[in-house]
């Protein structure tokens, strides 16, 4: 009986190792890298604004343009606005909380 348990454990461990060796893993990507590449590719006109589930698009300037720049790998992410009014400061910094959520200037969360 002890021999059967030993063989079973050995085969289970061997199977686990075979499974691990067949898994092709890739390095995990940092939150937001692909989103940042899309955002910095062009300037963006704001189409809609929702604050706490309420449509606030009319409260924002229709000709506001938002531009993203910086170096993702160095964690130096910046934005600038044209005609941002009180909605967005003229420029500042941001970081990604996850792939679609930004933290602007350390205080405002924005889903893109």
Residue 22 in any domain: the answer is no
Report the range of poorest mean pLDDT among 7-11, 14-18, 69-73, 75-79.
Answer: 14-18
Per the domain annotation, does 64 fall within a domain?
Answer: yes
Can you count the helices (H) and strands (E) in the chain? Answer: 2, 8
pTM, rounded to two decimals: 0.66
Domain annotation covers residue 17: no
- In a domain? residue 28: no
Q: How many degrees, rounded to 5, is the angle at CA 64 between CA 63 and CA 67?
A: 135
74 in a domain, yes or no?
A: yes
Residue 8 lies in a domain: no
**How far is it, in rounded angstroms, from Cα 38 to Cα 78?**
14
Nearest alpha-carbon partner for 84 in 33, 53, 43: 43
26 domain-assigned: no
pLDDT on residue 1: 53
Residue 43 placed within a domain:
yes
Domain range for 93:
33-111
Q: Could you give the number of structural domains in the chain? A: 1
């Amino acid at each position: 009986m002890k021999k059967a348990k030993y063989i079973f454990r050995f085969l289970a461990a061997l199977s686990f190792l075979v499974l691990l060796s067949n898994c092709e893993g890739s390095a995990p990507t940092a939150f937001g890298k692909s989103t940042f590449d899309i955002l910095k590719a062009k300037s963006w006109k704001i189409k809609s604004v929702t604050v706490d589930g309420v449509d606030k698009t009319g409260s924002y300037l229709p000709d506001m343009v938002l531009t993203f720049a910086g170096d993702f790998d160095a964690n130096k992410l910046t934005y600038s606005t044209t005609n941002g009014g009180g909605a967005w400061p003229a420029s500042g910094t941001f970081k990604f909380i996850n792939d679609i959520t930004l933290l602007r200037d350390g205080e405002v969360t924005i889903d893109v």
